[in-house]
Amino acid sequence: MKPLLSLQCKECDHEYPIEPRTVCDECFGPVEVIYDYGQLQDRFTRQLIESRPRNLWRYRELLPVDGEPRSGLQSGWTPLIPARRLAAELGVRELYLKDDSANYPTFSYKDRVVAVAVTKAIEFGFETVGCASTGNLAHSVAAHAAAAGLEAFVMVPHDLEEGKIVGTRVFGPRLVKIRGNYDDVNRLCAQIADKYPWALVNVNLRPFYTEGAKTHGFEIAEQLGWRLPRHTVVPVAGGTILPKIAKSYQELIRLGLVEDNKPVMHAAQAAGCNPIVKALEDEEDLFHPQKPKTVARSIAIGNPADGYYVMKAVRESGGWGASAEDAEILDAVGLLARTEGIFTEPAGGTTLAAAIKLIQSGRIPRDEPICVCITGNGLKTIEVMQETFTQAPVIEARIEAFTDLVESAREAQPARQPVTH
């Protein structure tokens, strides 16, 4: 028995059956899946979850599917890293990294939402899936569609990073580059959804797609030993993942799976695209859309549809926001790589850079447990890091040449310190 009841508008409470649906017809607010938590109370236990395979479907009772999972059977269950070297560098006591740069199959948090959306597309009987994307979603939709034998139509801004384009095209979708920024792509997709009978995962499958993001939070809690971090720092683009991590924590609390430690949510954006952080800082009710200009292309959404829910989740939890300049973003990418051996894309650099600012400003106390959400992989955007290095040395294949190089380098740069535990 599935405790999946219906869809309900988050703004006006109007109810709809479980069906493909972009927004509420009454008020245009987003609709959300309603679960029967009462029925799950004693059934959805730690033991049951722990007995299941290590992928995001171990939380299936809290995902909006009726039958068996049909996509992403290996997605999720990414590493939660106790980041000791980075913690020492930042002067904080307990720091974790939830590392979706290692997500399967396309190395970003989007494999979570797409696993659910593609399963749902198959349940609804669609033969074509698609999306509007800043890159990672297109990559993920194309891969999941290929594996499920569905047609894919993905729409991206015309000037996206090459790694994301090639990484997506290899799966054989129809990829269309749209002149303009992501917000232009998004507007077009809303109109495409009105015209073609396709499952556009972030449009008419949005109520289902967004729920997949909760699994990032479920995993953090389970991997911490059924405990919540006190502070979670999350990147914000369209505004899906931050409120959904907050929701995942509240669901676990409600079902008695973790203790309520009053988890605090913090928003991270690039300074060149920070409508939500700006509204938080200015304590405004409405955010103002922006024209993005940032190296963090995957989170360059100037008019975030779920922005109000990000503001609500941050405010209700007592959190805050911070934004990072391009140079700070790339520095943070380098810092994460050098301290923890993780190569993230600029979205991850943004999140770490914002976390550092929140720690420095005292918004995040140094002695409280912190989780930084790393949502994407740096190998997709190598061009942005290229200019941060000097040229690598080239030498002849002779030991003398090598010795000369090592000796002169040793004088210039002291050896790296290992962490002591």
Partner 1 sequence: MSITIQIPAALRPQADGQASLQLEGGTVREALGELKSRYPELGGRLFKSDNEVNRFINFYLNDEDIRFLDSLETKLKSGDELAIVPAIAGG
Footprint of partner 1 (CB under 8 A): 11, 22-23, 25-30, 110, 113, 131-134, 136-137, 180, 182-184, 186-187, 189-191, 193-194, 201-203, 206, 209-210, 237-240, 286, 288-289, 291, 301, 303-306, 308
Q: Is there a contact between 199 and 176 (Cβ–Cβ < 8 Å)?
A: no
44/107 with CB nearer ligand PLP:
107
Per partner kind, with CB cut-offs from 5 to 8 A, the member of Zn ion, ligand PLP, partner 1, none near residue 288 is partner 1
Q: Which position among 2, 4, 5, 11 is part of the footprint of Zn ion (CB under 5 A)?
A: 11
Is residue 14 within the footprint of Zn ion (CB under 5 A)? Answer: yes
27/166 with CB nearer Zn ion:
27
Q: Is there a contact between 351 and 235 (Cβ–Cβ < 8 Å)?
A: yes
Tell me how far apart the alpha carbons of residues 289 and 181 are, in angstroms, rounded to a whole number.
13
- In whole angstroms, the minimum distance from the beta carbon of 203 to ligand PLP comes to 13
How many helical (H) and strand (E) elements, i.e. helices and strands, does the chain have?
16, 13
Q: Which position among 62, 83, 221, 241 is part of the footprint of ligand PLP (CB under 6 A)?
A: 241
Per partner kind, with CB cut-offs from 5 to 8 A, the member of partner 1, Zn ion, ligand PLP, none near residue 376 is ligand PLP
8/210 with CB nearer ligand PLP:
210
- In whole angstroms, the minimum distance from the beta carbon of 37 to ligand PLP comes to 24
Per partner kind, with CB cut-offs from 5 to 8 A, the member of ligand PLP, partner 1, Zn ion, none near residue 293 is none
Per partner kind, with CB cut-offs from 5 to 8 A, the member of partner 1, Zn ion, ligand PLP, none near residue 132 is partner 1
The residue whose Cβ lies closest to ligand PLP is: 376
Work out the angle at residue 290's Cα, subtended by the Cα atoms of residues 271 and 244, and round it to the nearest 5 degrees: 75
The DSSP symbol for 213 reads G
Sheet arrangement for strand 128-132: 174-178, 151-157, 128-132, 199-200
Q: Enumerate residues 115-134 that contact ligand PLP by CB under 6 A.
A: 134
Q: Is there a contact between 250 and 217 (Cβ–Cβ < 8 Å)?
A: no
Half-sphere exposure (CA, 13 Å, Cβ side) for 257? Answer: 31
Tell me how far apart the alpha carbons of residues 107 and 129 are, in angstroms, rounded to a whole number.
20
Region binding ligand PLP by CB under 6 A among candidate stretches 45-53, 119-127, 168-176, 238-246: 238-246
Tell me how far apart the alpha carbons of residues 32 and 4 are, in angstroms, rounded to a whole number.
11
Tell me how far apart the alpha carbons of residues 89 and 160 are, in angstroms, rounded to a whole number.
33
Q: Is there a contact between 333 and 346 (Cβ–Cβ < 8 Å)?
A: yes
Work out the angle at residue 166's Cα, subtended by the Cα atoms of residues 274 and 109, and round it to the nearest 5 degrees: 45
Is residue 12 within the footprint of Zn ion (CB under 5 A)? Answer: yes
Cα 51 from chain centre: 26
15/260 with CB nearer partner 1:
15
Is residue 103 within the footprint of ligand PLP (CB under 6 A)? Answer: no
The binding track of 137-166 with respect to ligand PLP, each residue x by CB under 6 A or -, is x-----------------------------
339/375 with CB nearer partner 1:
375
31/373 with CB nearer Zn ion:
31
The pairing of strands 80-82 and 31-35 is: unpaired
Q: Which position among 7, 8, 9, 250 is part of the footprint of Zn ion (CB under 5 A)?
A: 9
Is residue 24 within the footprint of Zn ion (CB under 5 A)? Answer: yes
44/349 with CB nearer ligand PLP:
349
Binding-site size, ligand PLP (CB under 6 A): 18
The DSSP symbol for 15 reads E
Q: What is the largest CA-CA distance in the chain?
A: 77
For the residues of 340-389, what is the DSSP string, one character each?
H---B-HHHHHHHHHHHHHHHTTSS-TTS-EEEEE-BBGGGGTHHHHTTS
Is residue 23 within the footprint of Zn ion (CB under 5 A)? Answer: no
Per partner kind, with CB cut-offs from 5 to 8 A, the member of Zn ion, ligand PLP, partner 1, none near residue 9 is Zn ion
Q: Which structure tokens are listed for 191?
A: 């109109």
134/223 with CB nearer partner 1:
134
Q: Kindly compute the dihedral angle of the four CA atoms of residues 123, 125, 128, 133, in this order, to the nearest 10 degrees.
A: -30
Q: Enumerate residues 288-317 that contact ligand PLP by CB under 6 A.
A: 298-299
Binding-site size, Zn ion (CB under 5 A): 8
Region binding Zn ion by CB under 5 A among candidate stretches 23-31, 149-157, 220-228, 363-371: 23-31
Tell me how far apart the alpha carbons of residues 144 and 171 are, in angstroms, rounded to a whole number.
9
Integer-rounded Cα radius of gyration of the chain: 22
What residues make contact with ligand PLP under the rule CB under 6 A?
Answer: 108-109, 134, 136-137, 235-241, 298-299, 345, 347, 375-376
